[in-house]
């Protein structure tokens, strides 16, 4: 009987939308504990261990995270074709909010680091929202938050991920190899042919996708972008839950949420605080990232949303108040996974700046999560959202 209850409890946990964010929080905390314990030397040595010519950390960040980007690509494609972003009116509010949430954090970071050319490479670090983390925190509030706000946050985070993908492709690509780029293009062309011929078996796409990943890895473009490119070729049959895209997305959700992202977090969130002082924490790089996430995301997301709603370009999410929207804008400052990833691309050979990125991302994300949770949890479920929303538009 106890075994049955345990299995049911595990299944319930895995099915809960907050679980992925909770696991990520635990793993991030664990990485910090290990990095500041007697296990630290073994932890860092393991990450640098070579396997088949690449370090363990390299395999995690270039290979394992390609699966994460594959899932992101599938979600983006589905949302834009048949999901919450399938029409222009539905895209207006999350799209404008996401734009504000990219521009303002970048400007804050640039303002604090403009005198340091090397540090300026990290301008995009505070522009990304971690969808699993943010939705996990929001889910902890249960029925206090209207479903429309959860949909808004998910849509905003997906557009945010799309912006991050474009930024990575345009600004963090160097030393291109024409030969390997041609190989990747040939692989993508083969995937397009499979799609055009309505091939519904997944294995040909995944097999060619591995070849495309290898070509992209060698081309100078970051290998994880291969996951997005392959996702665009997976067929989506509208109004069918059994199309190849739906099947693959469903198959990847739990492995990515409970294995891929936590492993990435465990490998990349660990930073030693030995020798750190208040001056270290207030250095321009971590401070720019932390303020970009907490202040920049809040001002950018809420400010753009307020203007869009005030001018009639978009509507406030149904049943939601502007105060609740303000709280959700705070949660957009949780930038863990993608922010850490961009930080690695910005400073690939500078361990000190990588540690500064981790500190800044952790500070900004933690403050954003706690502040957003504190505000939203204090709002009464019986507030009159329609009246408040009407006042905001009057």
pTM for this predicted structure: 0.83
Low-confidence ranges of the chain (pLDDT < 70): 1-18, 239, 380-394
Q: What is the pLDDT of residue 10?
A: 60
Q: Please state the length of the chain.
A: 394
Cα–Cα distance, 184 to 212 (Å, whole number) = 5
**Could you tell me if 392 and 308 are in contact, meaning their C-beta atoms sit under 8 angstroms apart?**
no
Q: What is the pLDDT of residue 18?
A: 64
Phi, then psi, of 51 in degrees rounded to 5 = -135, 115
Q: What is the pLDDT of residue 95?
A: 94
Contacts of 74 (CB under 8 A, 6+ apart): 231, 234, 245, 248, 249, 252
Hey, what are 271's tokens? Answer: 């930073």
Cα–Cα distance, 35 to 305 (Å, whole number) = 39
Cα–Cα distance, 166 to 169 (Å, whole number) = 5
Cα–Cα distance, 268 to 47 (Å, whole number) = 9
Q: What is the pLDDT of residue 206?
A: 96
Name beta bridge partners: 51: 54
Q: What is the pLDDT of residue 11?
A: 64
For the stretch 74-90, pLDDT in tens is: 988 988 888 878 888 88
Q: What percent of the chain has pLDDT over 70?
A: 91
Hey, what are 316's tokens? Answer: 């406030």
CA 103 remoteness from chain centre: 17
User: DSSP string of 235-277?
Assistant: ---TT-TTSHHHHHHHHHHHHIIIIIHHHHHHHHS----TT--
Q: What is the pLDDT of residue 357?
A: 93
Q: What is the pLDDT of residue 244?
A: 92
Q: What is the pLDDT of residue 203?
A: 95
Q: What is the pLDDT of residue 211?
A: 96
């Amino acid at each position: 009987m106890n075994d049955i209850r345990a299995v049911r409890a595990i299944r319930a946990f895995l099915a809960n939308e907050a679980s992925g964010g909770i696991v990520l929080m635990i793993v991030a905390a664990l990485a910090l504990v290990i990095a500041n314990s007697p296990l630290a030397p073994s932890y860092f040595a393991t990450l640098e261990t070579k396997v088949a010519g690449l370090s363990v950390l390299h395999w995690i960040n270039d290979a394992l995270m390609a699966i994460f980007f594959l899932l992101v690509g599938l979600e983006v494609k589905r949302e834009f074709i048949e999901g919450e972003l399938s029409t222009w009116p539905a895209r207006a509010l999350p799209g404008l909010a996401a734009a504000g949430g990219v521009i303002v954090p970048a400007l804050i970071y640039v303002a604090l680091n403009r005198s340091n050319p090397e540090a300026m490479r990290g301008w995009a670090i505070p522009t990304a929202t971690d969808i699993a983390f943010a939705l996990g925190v929001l889910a902890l509030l249960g029925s206090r938050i209207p479903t429309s706000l959860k949909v808004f946050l998910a849509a905003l985070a997906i557009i945010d991920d799309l912006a991050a993908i474009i930024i990575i492709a345009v600004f963090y690509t160097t030393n291109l190899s024409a030969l390997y780029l041609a190989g990747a293009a040939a692989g993508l062309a083969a995937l397009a042919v499979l799609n055009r011929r309505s091939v519904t078996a997944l294995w040909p796409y995944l097999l060619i996708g591995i070849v495309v990943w290898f070509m992209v890895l060698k081309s100078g473009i970051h290998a994880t972008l291969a996951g997005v490119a392959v996702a665009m070729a997976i067929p989506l049959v509208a109004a069918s839950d059994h199309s190849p895209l739906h099947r693959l997305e469903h198959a990847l959700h739990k492995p990515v949420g409970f294995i891929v992202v936590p492993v990435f977090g465990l490998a990349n969130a660990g930073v030693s605080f030995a020798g750190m002082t208040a001056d270290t924490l207030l250095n321009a790089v971590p401070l720019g990232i932390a303020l970009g996430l907490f202040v920049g995301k809040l001002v950018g997301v809420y400010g753009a949303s307020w203007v869009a709603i005030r001018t009639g370009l978009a509507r406030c999410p149904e049943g939601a108040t502007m105060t609740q929207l303000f709280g959700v804008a705070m949660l957009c400052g949780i930038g863990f996974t993608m922010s850490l990833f961009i930080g690695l691309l910005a400073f690939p050979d500078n361990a000190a700046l990588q540690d500064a990125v981790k500190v800044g991302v952790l500070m900004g994300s933690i403050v954003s999560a706690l502040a957003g949770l504190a505000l939203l949890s204090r709002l009464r479920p019986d507030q009159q959202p329609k009246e408040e929303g009407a006042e905001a538009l009057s």
